[in-house]
Amino acid sequence: MGMAVASDDLLSKKAAAMRASLERSQAITDDVVSILGSFDHRLSALEAAMRPTQIRTHSIRKAHENIDRTLKSAEAILAHFDQYYQAEAKIVKGPHEDVKNYLEAIDQLRRNIRFFGNKKGFKNDDDVVIRANNLISEAISKLEDEFKRLLSSYSKPVEPECLFGSLPNSMRPSAASPGRDGDPNGKNHSSDFHSELHKNNADAVQYTLPVLIPPRILPLLNNLTQQMVQAGHQQQLLKAYRDTRSKVLEESLQKLGVEKLSKDDVQKLQWEVLEAKIGNWIHFMRIAVKLLFAAEWKVCDQIFEGFDSLGDQCFAEVTANSIFMLLSFGEAIAKSKRSPEKLFVLLDMYEILQEIHSEIEILFKGRACTKIREAVMGLAIQLAQTAQETFGDFEEAVEKDATKTAVTDGTVHPLTSYVINYVKFLFDYRSTLHQLFQGIEGDSSQLASVTMRILQALQTNLDGKSKHYRDPALTHLFLMNNIHYIVRSVRRSEAKDLLGDDWIQRHRKIVQQHANQYKRNAWAKILQSLSIQGLISSSGGGGSTASGDAGSSGASRAIVKDRFKTFNTMFEELHQKQSQWTVPDTELRESLILAVAEVLLPAYRSFVKRFGPLVENVKSTQRYVKYTAEDLERILGEFFEGKNMNDNKR
């Protein structure tokens, strides 16, 4: 019980102590709050006292910042003024001594104008901006003069030797070649160029472009171009470039030997001179396009880099006079009077245009070059049409040829060899002709048709010429010789594949028909003299007559004698005449002689064997049996060798 009372007292004491402690804490808290409130009041008073000072300090700081900005702006303006005066000094001095610094001065002026134009205190009509713009105009004017000076200084005509040296080795002309040393009358047929073209495969050869302007100058000219274009001086630039470079190109071609000839000029030239000039022209076209124009395009491309349309226009205007001067000669040839010999030079000219076609399409690709591309294409079409018309003229000329050239021995007529050589030569141009007909008629098979028509025209003419012979045998020998020559030539040329085996077989039969007709007309009568018809009586007797004029053959000795004499006379006449005739082809001659011998010799042997005994014992036996079969065979070997009469005297 006593312990419980003690415990309660202890708790009461602790509780009283805690209460006293809390009361003291509250008193302290109240004191702190009172002190803090006093601080807040004093701080507010202090802040109110310091506010005017803070405002003044902020204003001073802002003023300093504005002063700094103003000073910096002033420094920039002064710097631009300084740069302006430096640029002005360079521009006044001119670009001649140091073009690079001159161009930098112009760029600096443009930066100054932009700078002052963006400043509120400066306007575009302010004096400094006006002066800068005027200075740029003056600078661009001087740049234009410098552009002209540089371009003119480094633009010189290209010497022929340099151009020849830029050609592939296989295409470089010899000392006597056309146009060398500026000789426009150098002898060199256009066919030589055709052979050269195919021999060297022009598509595969490499050309070394001549240097028209030193490479170190081109970037500088490009910089000048950029400044002038930026200043809006495109037309001045175009005129300066055109006037300088076009003249240089024309002079380069003139040094090479290019000349401008009209249709009338062409008509007055002798064929050999004209052919040489055409050969030159073909060479000039190759040099102009593959070397001169290609090199000019490269120069133009670098000077006007970044300004494609302007570059295309400059290139078109620079090359126009030169290319039209070249094309005018081609047009004059295409429009001149047609003749068979011109066909091959027309094809040569057409061929070179086909060869340079890809270069023309690449170099003159821009819209500004449209007229040039069309002019080149137009000339190609014109040459193709003229060539086709010349084919027609040649066909008609062959059919109507009335040359008085006499072929008394029945050999191959000059017209035949001329036409065959003409046709064979055409096949050197086979691919070109396919292109030509393809371009005109859309049908490359026209070459076969044209060739057949020409050969048919030749045969028609030969038929007419054969009728001038009085001897029918010589008529057929003449036709046999000529048609055989045609067939043999076709078989040995590319025409064989084009005309086909059927054509060859058909014409070989015609040759055989004329050979048979020759034998019939030449040998029918002499063979008749060896026939038994009229020699043996109808009773077929076998006995001897009282007078002994008939032998065991039952034939009359007198008639047999007459037959032998007739045969001898006719054979000698045939030998004398036909040994003057000619079969120029050895194989044909031998086969023809063999064909005659196969008919004549068996008939003669049979006749001599049967009727020879009747004249063996008579006076002058050799007057009748004058030849052995071997003699006849030997003499037949002398036929068709074209001997004159004195050679035939025995």
Nearest 5°: the CA angle 523, 635, 614 is 70
Nearest-angstrom CA–CA distance, 476 and 495: 26
- pLDDT exceeds 50 at position 648: no
Question: 62 — phi, psi (to 5°)?
Answer: -60, -40
CA 329 to chain centre: 17
The three-state secondary structure class of 582 is: strand
Distances (CA, A) of 536 to 24, 550, 579, 610: 194, 10, 34, 11
The rounded percent of the chain whose pLDDT value lies above 70 is: 76
Check: CB of residue 456 under 8 Å from CB of residue 375. Answer: no
Average pLDDT on 272-294 reads 95
Which one has a higher pLDDT value, 534 or 143? 143
What would the pLDDT profile of 56-89 be if each residue is shown by its tens digit? 777 777 767 776 665 565 555 555 555 555 566 5
Nearest-angstrom CA–CA distance, 524 and 421: 37
In which residue are the tokens 């001329």 written?
Answer: 418
Average pLDDT on 515-536 reads 91
- pLDDT exceeds 80 at position 33: no
- pLDDT exceeds 50 at position 48: yes
Q: Which CATH superfamily is domain 523-534+555-638 in?
A: Exocyst complex component Exo70 (1.20.1280.170)
**For residue 249, what are the contacts with CB-CB under 8 A and spacing of at least 6?**
292, 293, 296, 318, 319, 321, 322
- Mean pLDDT is lowest, of 20-34, 348-362, 545-559, for 545-559
User: How sure is the predictor about 539, in pLDDT bands with cuts at 50, 70 and 90?
Assistant: very low
Q: Please count the residues of the chain.
A: 650
pLDDT at 605: 95
- pLDDT exceeds 90 at position 589: yes
- pLDDT exceeds 80 at position 526: yes
Check: CB of residue 296 under 8 Å from CB of residue 249. Answer: yes
Which one has a higher pLDDT value, 202 or 478? 478
Nearest-angstrom CA–CA distance, 277 and 184: 7
DSSP state of 1: -
Nearest-angstrom CA–CA distance, 519 and 504: 23
Q: What is the DSSP string of 356-396?
A: THHHHHHHT-SGGGHHHHHHHHHHHHHHHHHHHHHHHHHHH
The rounded percent of the chain whose pLDDT value lies above 90 is: 50
Nearest-angstrom CA–CA distance, 399 and 409: 22
Question: 99 — phi, psi (to 5°)?
Answer: -65, -35
What would the pLDDT profile of 154-191 be if each residue is shown by its tens digit? 999 999 999 998 888 877 766 445 444 444 344 444 45
Are the folds of 156-168+209-387 and 523-534+555-638 the same? yes
574-585 burial, b if ≥16 CB within 10 A, otherwise e? bbebbbbbbbbb
Question: 336 — phi, psi (to 5°)?
Answer: -75, 170
- pLDDT exceeds 50 at position 547: no
Domain ranges of the chain: 19-154, 156-168+209-387, 523-534+555-638
Closest to 364 in 3D by CA, of 303, 407, 316, 400 = 316
The three-state secondary structure class of 536 is: strand
Nearest-angstrom CA–CA distance, 386 and 392: 10
Residue type for position 506: R
Average pLDDT on 337-353 reads 92
440-460 burial, b if ≥16 CB within 10 A, otherwise e? eeeebebbbebbebbbebbbe
Q: Label each residue of 537-576 as H, E or C.
A: CCCCCCCCCCCCCECCCCEEHHHHHHHHHHHHHHHHHHHH
What would the pLDDT profile of 251-266 be if each residue is shown by its tens digit? 999 999 999 888 889 8
- pLDDT exceeds 50 at position 442: yes
Average pLDDT on 100-120 reads 65
Nearest-angstrom CA–CA distance, 445 and 497: 12
Q: Cβ atoms within 10 A of the Cβ of 137, count?
A: 12
CATH of domain 156-168+209-387: 1.20.1280.170
What would the pLDDT profile of 484-493 be if each residue is shown by its tens digit? 999 999 998 8
Distances (CA, A) of 364 to 248, 289, 313, 360, 375: 19, 10, 10, 6, 11
